[in-house]
Amino acid sequence: KAGVTQTPRYLIKTRGQQVTLSCSPISGHRSVSWYQQTPGQGLQFLFEYFSETQRNKGNFPGRFSGRQFSNSRSEMNVSTLELGDSALYLCASSVVLAGGVNEQFFGPGTRLTVL
């Protein structure tokens, strides 16, 4: 099975612009989660989508949004970029294990630099 793929891998934007990141989950996985990784803050949860619906949301401003398509592919959008949005954005797809636990499989991430 192919792993989680994210595009683009690297992106440079300027303040005020908007950006869209894409994630293709592992085939058969219906849940997709997005995380922001910055030095010292670790992995900060952005949101989770399941069957095209946002199921969970972290504490990020409304500039951060996402969606999921019927084929489970997901996009994340950040509008009005700020310098502090520079980070590695990770996508994870998950499968439910016995007992209802989600095991997450991460993509390689998109490195966003805001100048």
Partner 1 sequence: DQQVKQNSPSLSVQEGRISILNCDYTNSMFDYFLWYKKYPAEGPTFLISISSIKDKNEDGRFTVFLNKSAKHLSLHIVPSQPGDSAVYFCAASGRNDMRFGAGTRLTVKP
Residue pair 44/32 in contact by the 8 Å Cβ criterion: no
The answer to whether 102 and 55 have CB atoms below 8 angstroms apart is: no
Least gap, CB of 15 to partner 1 (angstroms): 26
Total residues binding partner 1 (CB under 8 A): 26
Q: Rule CB under 8 A: is residue 62 a binding residue for partner 1? A: no
Sole window of 11-19, 38-46, 68-76, 77-85 interacting with partner 1 (rule: CB under 8 A):
38-46
Q: How many CB atoms lie within 10 A of CB 54?
A: 13
Q: 3-class DSSP state for residue 15?
A: coil
Task: Copy the structure tokens of residue 56.
Answer: 């969970």
Contact 63, 23 (CB under 8 A): no
Does 2 help bind partner 1 (rule: CB under 8 A)? no
The single residue among 22, 30, 45, 73 that binds partner 1, judged by CB under 8 A, is 45
4 binds partner 1 (CB under 8 A): yes
Nearer to partner 1, 30 or 79 (CB): 30
* 81 close to 94: Cβ distance less than 8 angstroms: no
**Which stretches of the chain bind partner 1, using CB under 8 A?**
4, 33, 35, 40-45, 48, 55-56, 59, 90, 92, 99-109
